[in-house]
Amino acid sequence: MANQQPLWSPSQEARQKTPLFHFIGWCAERHGKSFADYDAFYAWSIAEREAFWSAIWDYCGVKGKRGERSLEDGDDMLAARFFPDATLNFAENLLTGTGAADALVFRGEDKASDCWSWDRLRAEVSRLQQAFRALGIEKGDRIAAMMPNMPETVACMLAAASIGAIWSSCSPDFGDQGVLDRFGQIEPKLFITCDGYWYNGKRQDVAAKVKAVSQALKTPVLVVPYAGDAPALAASLSDGRMLADFIAPFQAKPVEFEQLPFAHPLYILFSSGTTGVPKCIVHSAGGTLLQHLKEHRLHCSLEPGEKLFYFTTCGWMMWNWLVSGLAVGATLCLFDGSPFAPDGNVLFDYAQEEKFAVFGTSAKYIDAVRKGGILPKQTHDLQSLRLITSTGSPLSPEGFSFVYEGIKSEVHLASISGGTDIVSCFVLGNPLKPVWRGEIQGPGLGLAVDVWNDDGKPVRGEKGELVCTKAFPSMPIMFWNDPDGRKYRAAYFERFENIWCHGDFAEWTEHGGIIIHGRSDATLNPGGVRIGTAEIYNQVEQMEEVAEAICIGQDWEDDVRVVLFVRLSEGRQLDEDLVKAIKSRIRTGASPRHVPAKVVQVADIPRTKSGKIVELAVRDVVHGRPVKNKEALANPEALDLFAGLTELEN
């Protein structure tokens, strides 16, 4: 049923103040065009990609040499090269500020806090750059970090990028095998680690893990003090050194920025790895920079000096997205630890104290706040907050409503979706358009996003595969250890020739927005009808009895039946009445086809380090198949709860 009224609409005055509104007028004047509305401008950004991405470069003031050519082999997605003549340095474009104003603000639960000025950030990057070079690190070498989301991590990344080294990071809650599954593939020249971290009010020791990883990697280890005994940890390693000792010989001076090709590798990110060893996805400096500038400046209306926050770890691509906010001149607000320690108000306390302009988080967090009865609208001054973004999994319609009812009435809510694969978003917010309940506002500028059916035809009014039909700058440049590109092609281009198939099950809305119904490889297929798992979660997780759910399709009697596993709220038990209530809620809220054949109570639900539930892993366990890489999970022991359910009774 169509929503009768949007949850939020920008006033005409507010629209005209946005960088996006100004940019559209700037492009119209520059190219002698007239755009009737945003949709006309979006169509131009797809039809004239060379002009559009050149305009992003110039309007956002990218530091570097753009060159004459904007796009080469643009019709071939695998061969396309953006700005093949350009040179730039990613770190130079992020170190935009000087002076005593804050560049970085940090909170580590309630245990630590810090602020770094732009001058301090520049000084630390300079000293780290010199120390890296003294260690023999050169462009193309890898630097791997197992670090909290703290200022030193940002400084190390910028120092690496300044000399053309390739950065890769994970969070310190990874197990040693999970770290090695990632970093062992890329053979780093330096391993950077903390000496411990806090989570949920408790100090977490990493010494044994660091020793195991360093012995396997056979590389020097740089120990950053945070929540432990850094000197003892460094001394216990065969080639360990303290951060202070590492940079002590070097005085801060102007940072030197190696000028590199647009497609020079910047980051190695990793797939979740729940179906095997994680894929090493290599992203370019130029593509990452342009795409993030576009998203921050135009889609998020980010201004210099504003406070940008995203609740993320260094193992999730949203950390890379967050850090790029420096390129706009924003102040990054970093947080490490549990968002519910000491209680569920901690991030809203932080938002109030630092006056966040942008508050980024996950759909799971918003749902947890809602279910926890937390109402920041009544308890916190969030006057400065103008944009809330949500990603990680589809935000339910009830989640949309709660943001406006429980957090802030007058705020732009942007549900966003993309991923590690593109280190950015395919679909996201739009400050010129209204927000409709349950809908992502639309595709990103310059991205030819569509929804196709199984026959490779665009569809409206029905669900299909989320695709991108034209090359774009933030496509991966390669997978590491994939010399013939076979793994890369298999990941995105096997379904439709010369078309990026993202693996999301999606549909267009009547407003030109998008709804993501879950991962297409996790869609259910009872009776041959494809059903998105998010459609079921949107119903059952609104029930106060249900804390969380995970749904799979189980092979059953020559067909597939839907099995729903539920983690119930404290003190609840699954009885016949609750099963009936769950099925009734799904039948009336979704459709009879969505009703599960079985509802089963479990004590926990497995999820990745970034909080995403792992339907495929549960499906494998239920079918008696091995899960290839449990190290990718935050709570691998939860999978054992499903191991005895391979023969679910009728």
CATH number at residue 605: 3.30.300.30
647: pLDDT confidence band, cut at 50, 70 and 90? Answer: low
Average pLDDT over the chain, rounded to an integer: 93
**In this model, does residue 447 exceed pLDDT 90?**
yes
Average pLDDT over residues 266-295: 90
When divided into structural domains, the chain yields a total of: 1
Query: Is residue 528 one of the residues assigned to a domain?
Result: yes
Q: Cβ distance 265 to 448 under 8 Å?
A: no
User: What pLDDT digit, counting tens, does each position of 285-298 carry?
Assistant: 999 999 999 999 99
Q: Please list, in sequence order, all residues whose beta carbon lies within 8 angstroms of the beta carbon of residue 38, skipping any fewer than 6 positions away.
A: 24, 430, 432, 433
Rounded to whole angstroms, how far apart are CA atoms 588 and 610? 32
Query: Is residue 14 one of the residues assigned to a domain?
Result: no
Residue-level pLDDT at 645: 63
Query: Is residue 592 one of the residues assigned to a domain?
Result: yes
Characterize the bridge pairing of strands 358-362 and 387-391.
parallel
User: What pLDDT digit, counting tens, does each position of 291-341 carry?
Assistant: 999 999 999 999 999 999 999 999 999 999 999 999 999 999 999 999 999
**In this model, does residue 30 exceed pLDDT 60?**
yes
Rounded to whole angstroms, how far apart are CA atoms 329 and 153? 18
pTM for this predicted structure: 0.90
User: What pLDDT digit, counting tens, does each position of 391-410 carry?
Assistant: 988 899 999 999 999 999 99
**In this model, does residue 358 exceed pLDDT 70?**
yes
**In this model, does residue 646 exceed pLDDT 80?**
no
Residue-level pLDDT at 636: 86
Rounded to whole angstroms, how far apart are CA atoms 141 and 187? 9
**In this model, does residue 610 exceed pLDDT 80?**
no
User: What pLDDT digit, counting tens, does each position of 558-578 carry?
Assistant: 777 889 999 999 889 999 999
2: pLDDT confidence band, cut at 50, 70 and 90? Answer: very low
Query: Is residue 498 one of the residues assigned to a domain?
Result: no
Q: Which residue has the higher pLDDT, 535 or 512?
A: 512
Q: Residue 489, exposed/middle/buried by CB under 10 A (0-12, 13-18, 19+)? A: middle
Block residue for tokens 């802030």: 408
- 564: helix, coil or strand? strand
Least trusted range by pLDDT, from 77-91, 575-589, 617-631: 617-631
Query: Is residue 44 one of the residues assigned to a domain?
Result: no
* Whether residue 342 has a cis bond before it, omega within 30° of 0: yes
Query: Is residue 139 one of the residues assigned to a domain?
Result: no
Residue-level pLDDT at 331: 98
CA distances to 158, 396, 399, 475, 589 from 363, rounded to whole Å, are: 29, 8, 7, 25, 20
Tokens of 584: 């009734």
Sign of CA dihedral 329, 335, 339, 341: negative
Average pLDDT over residues 69-78: 97
1: pLDDT confidence band, cut at 50, 70 and 90? Answer: very low
Average pLDDT over residues 514-523: 86
Share of the chain above pLDDT 90, in %: 80
Query: Is residue 211 one of the residues assigned to a domain?
Result: no
Domain around 570: 523-643
User: What pLDDT digit, counting tens, does each position of 186-237 carry?
Assistant: 999 999 999 999 999 999 999 999 999 999 999 999 999 999 899 999 999 9
Q: Cβ distance 159 to 95 under 8 Å?
A: no
174: pLDDT confidence band, cut at 50, 70 and 90? Answer: confident
User: What pLDDT digit, counting tens, does each position of 464-517 carry?
Assistant: 999 999 999 999 999 999 999 999 999 999 999 999 999 999 999 999 999 999
Rounded to whole angstroms, how far apart are CA atoms 369 and 350? 15
User: What pLDDT digit, counting tens, does each position of 92-111 carry?
Assistant: 999 999 999 999 999 999 78
Sign of CA dihedral 170, 516, 521, 599: positive
Rounded to whole angstroms, how far apart are CA atoms 19 and 60? 10
Rounded to whole angstroms, how far apart are CA atoms 622 and 373? 34
Residue-level pLDDT at 644: 65
Radius of gyration of the chain (CA): 24
Query: Is residue 619 one of the residues assigned to a domain?
Result: yes
Least trusted range by pLDDT, from 2-16, 109-123, 455-469: 2-16
* Largest pairwise CA distance in the chain: 71
Share of the chain above pLDDT 70, in %: 97
Q: Please list, in sequence order, all residues whose beta carbon lies within 8 angstroms of the beta carbon of residue 537, skipping any fewer than 6 positions away.
A: 394, 396, 549, 551
Distance from the Cα of residue 133 to its chain's centroid: 31
276: pLDDT confidence band, cut at 50, 70 and 90? Answer: low
- 217: helix, coil or strand? helix
Instruction: Please give the DSSP secondary-structure letter assigned to residue 646.
Output: T
* Helices and strands (DSSP H and E) totals, the chain: 22, 32
**In this model, does residue 443 exceed pLDDT 80?**
yes
Residue-level pLDDT at 334: 98
Rounded to whole angstroms, how far apart are CA atoms 577 and 366? 28
User: What pLDDT digit, counting tens, does each position of 589-603 carry?
Assistant: 877 878 898 999 999
**In this model, does residue 381 exceed pLDDT 70?**
yes
Q: Cβ distance 132 to 108 under 8 Å?
A: no
